Amino acid sequence: MYSEISKWIDNVLKQDIPTSVVAFCFNLYEDGDSRWSMELVGTGSYNVDDEDWACDEVTNFGTRENNFSWNESGEWNEVLDKMISELKRYLDKGACANLLKSKGEIGVGFVDGDIEMLFSK
């Protein structure tokens, strides 16, 4: 799955990132029938004490219409753990890892749940 995620992120980040973006969040969705999806948003704020920072969306990079989707059996927490692992791998060696990390904060989580931080300056 890593190569598909990597290609998707690389393609998403070919576009310009607004200067007002200070953090990124990978939003996960359960679509039903063992189908999951992920979008990437850039936010205009970040607050370690308020997980609603991910709602301060500046851009979704078109990923709401062109999200990363996959089939996987399992509970939401298993899917989250796997995606945390895949995204950390990307942040270690992905082509746009430094671009993501340049803004400072990177999180991942289900849109109606807690955010797990992947990277923080």
**What are phi and psi for residue 7, nearest 5 degrees?**
-60, -40
Structure tokens that stand for 77 in this block:
């927490």
C-beta of residue 24 within 8 angstroms of C-beta of residue 100: yes
What pLDDT does residue 49 have? Answer: 85
Q: Return d(Cα 31, Cα 116) in angstroms, integer.
A: 20
pLDDT at 48: 84
The DSSP annotation for 3-21 comes to HHHHHHHHHHTTSPPPTT-
pTM of the model: 0.96
pLDDT of residue 71: 96
Reported as type and span, the H/E element at residue 24 is strand 23-32
Q: What is the pLDDT of residue 113?
A: 87
User: Per residue in 62-118, pLDDT tens?
Assistant: 999 999 999 999 999 999 999 999 999 999 999 999 999 999 899 999 988 899 999
Q: What is the pLDDT of residues 10-41, one digit of tens each?
A: 999 999 999 999 999 999 999 999 999 999 99
Confidence band of 121 (pLDDT split at 50, 70, 90): confident
